[in-house]
Amino acid sequence: MHHSFRKPKALVPLALVQLALVLSSPAARAEADVLPPAVRNANAQLLSQFFAQGGASPAVLEYRRKLAEYQAARAAFDAEAGAYWSQIYEKRKTRNAKRRSGQQITLDDYVLEHPPLYNGPKKPVNPEETPERPRKPIPVTADFLRAAQELYRFTPQRPTSEVEFKRAYARYALASGLTREQAVRVYAFETGGTGTHDVQAGIEHGGKRAISTAMGYNQLLTTNSVELLAEQGHELIRALSEKVTRTPGPARHALEHKLAVLKKMVAHAKSVPDTWSEHEKMGRTPQGWAMHAMVLDIDIGPMLQTHKLLTSVLFARAKGHSRPLSAAELEMMNLTGDGTGLDMVTMPQAMREQVPTSNFFQRGGYERNPVAIRHNTVAKLLAVTDQRMDANSSKAGARELAAAF
């Protein structure tokens, strides 16, 4: 039987590997400069031979050394953090079960230690890898408007002035059950007290690049717009239908077209399962962008801004929380989700002082949230939220919104 054999690769002598490792360090390179020329030339020849036989460059060897250090430190941290966040998850499950059965929640139902934070070496950059492709740009107002025109033949009706939008928002918010304090202070927190109806995250206060699709007084994401159309679409249609019946002449025709478009958008939003993940998928498409354009409309925009907050108010009320939510409490529900936010809102003050904020986050979200890390108990997080609301409520935009009420 015929056998074929591959020619074995030339083996790199261990001494050359060791020499390359030694000479790749910064200290060794500095010392090499003072060696006699003959020695330096001999070292250079050995290294050239090493690289010719498939060895790595000093930069790559240094990268591999740093990578090994990083991986060891990260593995140790992940083992510790994994155990901590598993405990957070189990405690959350226990709390949810106790609430369903009407049992009282106590301090024992929370993890009272703060999570470990990684403070080891950073992951090094591989000199052999090509730079990452630039990220796909985040859509902005022009993209939302283009999608609305292309898919629905519709252009949102923009306000003639910012105060016109604020007045429309104030009227609808008050009629729906929001208070002036809730609306103004959340606006002050979300926009810094100066935001316009079309302000987008990242493109404000001198920012040049969008960092998310969050837009408007209460910073709705595309996912929020899709979800609100799916879940509150019947109310939006009812309110706009009433305005149509009250409006005479040519203006009525424009409103009738707007109502027809709104009905189509609501139907499309309802065409996917009513879950955040499905709404998020739609929000990444031109169809979701077109729906998000409604945030800019003088009639529908104020309704979307209102329902972004109102759903949390109604959720708390449905769960038996009759006391009006403070603006900071409402913001917690706005930021973390209704169920998680209500967990904080219903907590007695004495417990708020002791319970770490980590109990209300997923690990990834917590580790990317410097505010929750720095203000690491429920009481501290609510306090800093109130402080920011206090400071921003005195700014021009917040004062103008307050006057609109």
- The span from the first CA to the last CA of the chain, in angstroms, equals 94
pLDDT of residue 17: 42
Contact at 8 Å (CB) between 290 and 315? no
pLDDT of residue 111: 97
Sign (positive or negative) of CA dihedral 99, 345, 175, 304: negative
In the three-class reduction of DSSP (H, G, I as helix; E, B as strand; rest coil), residue 377 is classed as strand
pLDDT of residue 7: 38
Distance of CA 163 to the CA centre of its chain: 29
- pLDDT tens digit at each of 405 positions of the chain: 444 433 333 344 444 444 444 444 454 455 445 555 655 565 555 555 555 445 678 888 999 999 999 999 999 999 999 999 999 999 999 999 998 898 999 999 999 999 999 999 999 999 888 777 777 889 999 999 999 999 999 999 999 999 999 999 999 999 999 999 999 999 999 999 999 999 999 987 778 899 999 999 999 999 999 999 999 999 999 999 999 999 998 899 999 999 999 999 999 999 999 999 999 999 999 999 999 999 999 999 999 999 999 999 999 999 888 889 999 999 999 888 888 899 999 899 999 999 999 999 999 989 988 999 999 999 999 999 999 999 999 999 999 999 999
Contacts of 185 (CB under 8 A, 6+ apart): 327, 328, 331, 389, 393
pLDDT of residue 208: 82
The widest CA-to-CA distance across the chain, in whole angstroms, is 98
pLDDT of residue 45: 58
CA distance 370 to 391: 20
pLDDT of residue 67: 93
Tokens of 75: 């593995």
Angle at 171 between CA 149 and CA 283, to 5 degrees: 35
pLDDT of residue 44: 56
pLDDT of residue 336: 84
Tokens of 334: 């706005």
DSSP class of residue 215 equals B
CA distance 121 to 18: 24
Contact at 8 Å (CB) between 304 and 223? no
